[in-house]
A and B are shown apart, each in its own frame.
Chain A
Amino acid sequence: DGGITQSPKYLFRKEGQNVTLSCEQNLNHDAMYWYRQDPGQGLRLIYYSQIVNDFQKGDIAEGYSVSREKKESFPLTVTSAQKNPTAFYLCASSIVNQNTGELFFGEGSRLTVL
């Protein structure tokens, strides 16, 4: 079955450590996205990529980094510069030339900073 796989589902990190969240899709979608979810705040866009080897900052990119070396993969690194990293992170993908903008989501990764 086609879909988006995020790993790990749960992750614990000590303050000052970088951590990388994996996102892989086999939907053949061009665009991929990372959203952060906090209670009562909905989803906020961190980074997005519409094509391989290119990505753009979203609304809350500070303290995060991404890469897009392959169409199928869009890993997110939460760096030590992110002041409040504890959150639920969602990866999504979409068809670029589909003008509705519909997103397909992974199951999410919950990061907790100890």
Chain B
Amino acid sequence: AQSVTQLGSHVSVSEGALVLLRCNYSSSVPPYLFWYVQYPNQGLQLLLKYTSAATLVKGINGFEAEFKKSETSFHLTKPSAHMSDAAEYFCAVSGAYKLSFGAGTTVTVRA
């Protein structure tokens, strides 16, 4: 069965600093991987997705993620954090009939 593990439930960064959110996956087949963002009391919005094309995937709001098969990782990065990046972020992997989500990482941005 496919699964993902997000390392770190909370990340605090200064405005303008690098944002790095870690996600490792487990899959018996080549995976499709996703990063979603959730603002308080709202649904999830797709940031980016990996579908076996380019290993470096660019998404919305300046985020990108790199698929590394050798490390079974799909870490999310943004070079310069903005106050509006404060939210919860979820990594997910596609299975036979559903997406399986990680536990989430809450990002706090300090002024």
Contacts and interface: CB of A to CB of B under 8 A. Distances in A.
A100 interface: yes
Interface stretch (A12-20, A64-72, A73-81, A106-114): A106-114
Interface of B: 9, 32, 34, 36, 41-46, 49, 51, 90, 94-95, 97-99, 101-104
Interface of A: 4, 6, 9, 33, 35, 40-43, 45, 48, 50, 56, 58, 88, 90, 92, 99-108, 110
Contact of A50 (B46, B97, B101): B97
A110 B45 contact: no
Interface of B is mostly: loop
A105 B41 CA distance: 13
A44 to B, nearest CB: 8
Contacts of A103: 44, 99
A100 B94 CA distance: 7
Contacts of A43: 44, 90, 101
